[in-house]
Amino acid sequence: MVGPQILGKRVRHLSRYKDIAHILVANGFGWFIDEIGLADVMNLPRRLFTERKEARHSLTTYERIRLVIEQLGPTFIKLGQMASLRGDVFPAELIEQLTRLQDEVPPFPFTEVEQLIEQELGSPIHVLFSEFDEQPVGSASIGQVHRARLQSGEEVAVKIQRPDIERTIQVDLEILMDLARLAERNLEWAEHYELTDVVEEFRYTLLNELNYTIEGRNADRLRKIHENDSYVRVPQIYWDWTTTRVLTMEYVRGIKLANRQLLEDAGYDTGLIAERAAHAVFDQLLIHGFFHADPHPGNLAVLPDHSILFMDFGMVGRLTSEMKRYLAGLIVGLMRRDSDAIVRVLYRMGVVPTDIDDRKLHRDVDGLREKYYDVPFQQISLGEATADLFAVAYKHRIKIPSDLALVGKTLITIEGVVEGLNPSFRILNIAEPFGRKLLMDRLNPKKLSQMGIKSVLDLFDLATDLPKQLRTILQGLSKGQVKVSVEVPELTRMVSQFIRIGNRLSFSIVLLAFSIFMAGLMVASVLSKSPSALWSLPMTDVGAIIGIVLFVALVISIWRSNR
């Protein structure tokens, strides 16, 4: 049943729906419209939707999907590029085609540039800038970039959003979400991968790209991360000339990493450039947990002092401490060819379906180990290994968290960049020390203490909540509020017994939590190089006495109940 809100959107966007339908039909995908249940709202002959035309095309299915995306316009191109990050959701052949999508379109007229800048910044171009090139230095689906100079003399790059692009994207996003809902209702794989959630992730990322103040903040954060790194450069943002639709940043002259021959002819050390680019990305990933997620050669340049210039901050990724541990575990598992470690990380991440065939999963991950077993560590391609892991995830319908999927694509991209600069360079040589450092940081006394305190607090919460939750469940059972198929005699007496058991269990958890806490204090006390006043107190003696009292109380409670 189609809700009135969705139906209203379909009527309102009927012209765009028809455009999409015609493009799908022209490329042999009319049957797909019928399969997801959209044919009934299209005013076209039904035979166009039900006829399968793949045989009439010399191109493969995945090549035709790429053509469809290119013909559908900027929104779908951007979403296709984002979909290329999800090797765990889409097959490798499709990912290969999506990576070929080009985000290059003709520039819009300079008169519209002038109008938009005056509208956004409140003054005409000639008042704001002493120079402003009419020809853009770059043009893409969302905006274009012009070189200019502020009245104060600074050379800047001004990024201007295309007129009406936001409305176009909003319409396409509404249609995409509608199609995803229909697909989930009619296609088993779409329901399994929760396609609406995938589209929502894309929607969130794309709308962020439309807000240039977010891109400016991303640049500022990366600039802060690398403020003490002489080998990395991030342009400064000029906030007085920046809005949601206009972004003004420092213009830095450099040579893009896309042309190795040009770099060598100019006398650059491409091996050093490759090492510095990889080092910067791994520093962002594994140390800071905030990274440039699209480090392709067009977004990286080198300056005369061999420092690396990052550009275009619309797509960034974030990793929590937990995600960084997962990533380190996967990298170390790949480096050690330890298939069991990789599977453990996947289970720990909670992304393995409950109905998975565990034996087949281990077999396929073991296949990765066999593939790389005889390959010297220095020769392993991290990008290829990541793609192989995503292929296993896709086969077993394991949905990798979007942040880690973004990491995977970033690793594949930066590995391609550095190997293009220096074919003998292996990115794992840079990755290994970062992964080792991240794992060693987990043994840091301060972090051990923090983790111990967090575990204690979690256990105390469990101990506090358990009796109440157990009482609620059992009282619901006794009142018939929870339907069960088994009759239990003397339920009231059993309820009180379960509550006593729950209380005793929670008391035991408190004792365990206290023991962990004391152990954490003692470990931190031993490992700490600069003990604070806290460690000078007789914590061990006091803790031992309290622990003995709690233990005796528990024993007496059990003895009195004859258990």
Q: Read out DSSP for 494-514?
A: HHHHHHHHHHHHHHHHHHHHH
Query: Which residue type does 476 have?
Result: G
Query: Which residue type does 373 have?
Result: Y
- The C-alpha atoms of residue 105 and residue 74 are separated, in whole angstroms, by 9
Q: Using 50, 70 and 90 to split pLDDT, how confident is the model at 91?
A: confident
24's enclosing H/E stretch is helix 14-26
With beta carbons less than 8 A apart as the criterion, state whether 23 and 71 touch: yes
pLDDT at 449: 57
Assign 247 to helix, strand or coil.
strand
With beta carbons less than 8 A apart as the criterion, state whether 231 and 223 touch: no
358-367 pLDDT, tens digit per residue, is: 888 888 888 8
Give CA 9 to chain center in angstroms.
Answer: 30
- The C-alpha atoms of residue 168 and residue 176 are separated, in whole angstroms, by 12
Task: Give the mean pLDDT of the chain.
Answer: 78
Other CB atoms closer than 10 Å to residue 374's CB: what's the count? 7
10-47 pLDDT, tens digit per residue, is: 556 788 888 888 898 888 888 888 777 777 656 555 65
Terminal C-alpha separation, the chain: 58
- The C-alpha atoms of residue 11 and residue 9 are separated, in whole angstroms, by 5
129 DSSP assignment: E
pLDDT at 122: 95
If one compares 135 and 1, the residue with the highest pLDDT of the two is 135
Radius of gyration of the chain from its Cα atoms, rounded to whole angstroms: 29
With beta carbons less than 8 A apart as the criterion, state whether 75 and 82 touch: no
Range with lowest mean pLDDT among 257-266, 306-315, 384-393: 384-393
520's CB contacts (< 8 A; 6+ apart) are: 448, 449, 451, 452, 453, 456
446-491 pLDDT, tens digit per residue, is: 555 555 555 555 555 555 666 666 666 666 666 665 555 544 445 5
Q: Which ranges in 374-490 belong to alpha helices (H)?
A: 382-395, 402-421, 428-441, 445-478
- The C-alpha atoms of residue 56 and residue 30 are separated, in whole angstroms, by 13
The whole-number average pLDDT for the span 530-535 is: 47
With beta carbons less than 8 A apart as the criterion, state whether 405 and 87 touch: yes
pLDDT at 128: 96
pLDDT at 535: 45
- 539 vs 480, 519, 533, CA distance in Å? 50, 11, 11
pLDDT at position 275 over 90: yes
pLDDT at position 506 over 60: no
Query: Which residue type does 131 have?
Result: E
Question: For 144, phi and psi rounded to 5 degrees?
Answer: -140, 160
256 DSSP assignment: E
In the chain, domain spans: 4-102+172-207, 256-441, 445-560
9's enclosing H/E stretch is helix 4-12
Catalytic-labelled residue, pool 294, 312, 364, 403: 294
Q: What's this model's pTM, rounded to 2 decimal places?
A: 0.71
Catalytic status, residue 366: no
